[in-house]
Structures are given as C-alpha cells and as structure tokens.
Structure 1
Amino acid sequence: MQQRSPFKSRGGLERLRAAVKYSLNGFRQAWHEEAAFRQELMLFAVLLPVALVVPVTIVERIVLVSSAVLVLVVELLNSAIEAVVDRVSFDRHELSQRAKDLGSAAVMLSLLVAGFCWLAILGPLVVDLAEW
C-alpha cells in the first residue's frame, strides 16, 4: 500500500481551496521577498490600463496583456528555482549557479519578448501620433 503525503489535499472543493490558499501565499511570498517581482508587478500595473485603452484589435490587446503576464509567471518560476537552490545549500556550487543563471536568463528573455510585443504593436501608433 502506497503512503499518502500529509501535505497532499484530498480532492474536490478541498483541493481547490488548498490550491487557492497556496497560490495566494506564493504571491504574498513573492511580494515580500522578491524585489524584482515587486518591480515587474508595478510595471504590469502601469501597462495593464494602457493595454486596455489603446486603440488596437482584441488579438493585439491579448498579446499586450499576455506578454506582460508572462514576465510575472517567469519571475515566479525563477524565484521558485532560487528558493529551492538556497534550501539545498547556501554554499557556492557550479550547478547552483547554473540553475540561478538559467532562471535569470529566462526572465530576461520574457522581458525581451514582452518589450518586442509592446514595441511592435504600439510603435506604429506612437509614430502616427508623432506625425499628427
């Protein structure tokens, strides 16, 4: 007979309640412990209203919002990687550094993708306004 983890929820509404609780705790931890997450969340708070009011198609609006959300998702994953690495050991190790560097590279790539999306969609609008 297989043992069940005491940390595993049973299912149904209990599972949903636990998942929401853990997710909210994750957001809380990221806000309190991760300066980069706070900065990116503040940037998102500025960009979201812009994405909702600019005169673009629904698909372009979805790309703008999704690319900004992607940055937050990747930052949360990077923070999780860093937490696990630090949990294992604070000692310097090549593999620990590699894991942290790869997570950081993923965040940078998501920022570049988001920047490209915003520039590609809003760039022509800004040029049109400048010529007006």
Structure 2
Amino acid sequence: MARSNFSWKDRIRSFSYAFNGLKIVWQEEHNFRIHLIAAVVAIVLSYLLRISPYEWLAIIFSIGFVLVSELLNTALEHLADFVCQERNPNIKRIKDVAAAAVMLSSITALLIGLIIFIPKLLLWCSLAQLF
C-alpha cells in the first residue's frame, strides 16, 4: 500500500501563503481596497435592509466574483511584468483583457446590487415619508 503524502502541517502552511497573498494585494492594489470597501458597504446595507437568504447568496457571490477577478488580474499583471519588463503590445493586450474581466465582474455585481437594493430603498423612503 502506497503511503499518502498528505500532511496537516503542509495544509495549514498553505493557508499562510494565501493570507500572505491577501496581505500583498491589500498593501499594493488600490482597486482591491476599493472593492473591499464596496463589499463592506453592500454587506452593511444588506443587513440593514434585511434582505432574503437568496438575496444574500447573490450579494456574497457577487462580492467573491469581484474580489477573485481582482486577485487573478493582479497575479496576471505581476506575471506579465516578470516575463517581459519592456513595453510589449502583446503583454498590454493580455493586461487589458484581464482588466476587462474585473470591470465586467464589477458591473455585474453593481447590477445585482441595484436590483436587490433599489426596490427596498424606495420602499424605505416611501415609508419614511409617512412618518
């Protein structure tokens, strides 16, 4: 019987690499911080407006979608810069496409947020006028 190479110590260590990646992105990427602030605003608004469990799923998925897109974009940009330090039109195209992915995920998240929050905010405003 072959011995497994599985190690709890190695699994726990792999989390430290992931947390280090988050620390790097937090320190170096302004857009990641902006997305994280928007995520906190969405979570607070979701809580205050008492959104449904399915709406929570949409909000949480949207937040994850944007943050993962930003992380992958950052990793790709760093890799491209490592591979080719000089200006290169092919590298620029790669970076532009990766940036477009972040933009598309952000627009998608914004639309989901608007669909969920606007009716609830309009209702809240109409109820506030009654008092």
Q: TM-score range by the shorter chain?
A: 0.7 to 0.9
Superposed displacement of residue 65, structure 1: 2.0
Quickly say closer, same or farther: Cα 1:54–1:12, change in 2 above 3 A.
farther
> Where in structure 2 are there 5+ consecutive unaligned residues?
none
Partner residue of 2:11?
A: 16
Equivalent-residue separation in structure 2 for 1:56 and 1:106 (angstroms)? 28
TM-score by length of 2: 0.86
Residue-by-residue CA offset, 1:77-108 (whole Å, 9 max, x unaligned) = 00000000011122111220111101110010
Matched, 1:53 2:52: no
Partner residue of 2:92?
A: 97
Q: Tell me which of the two structures has the higher relative contact order, counting C-alpha pairs closer than 8 angstroms and 6 or more residues apart.
A: 2
In the TM superposition, what are the counterparts of 1:1-132 in structure 2 within 5 Å?
A: 11-132=6-127
Question: Do 1:51 and 1:65's aligned partners in 2 also have CA atoms closer than 8 Å?
Answer: no
Superposed displacement of residue 18, structure 1: 2.4
**Number of residue pairs aligned between Structure 1 and Structure 2:** 123
Equivalent-residue separation in structure 2 for 1:12 and 1:58 (angstroms)? 37
Superposed displacement of residue 49, structure 1: 2.1
**SS of structure 1 residue aligned to 2:69:** helix
> Where in structure 1 are there 5+ consecutive unaligned residues?
1-9
Superposed displacement of residue 116, structure 1: 0.6
Residue-by-residue CA offset, 1:12-68 (whole Å, 9 max, x unaligned) = 313312220110010011011111111111222222222233222101111112212
- Structure 2 counterpart of 1:114, which letter? A
Partner residue of 1:7?
A: none
**SS of structure 1 residue aligned to 2:43:** helix
**SS of structure 1 residue aligned to 2:79:** helix
Question: Do 2:76 and 2:95's aligned partners in 1 also have CA atoms closer than 8 Å?
Answer: yes
Segments of 4+ in structure 1 off by > 6 A?
Answer: none
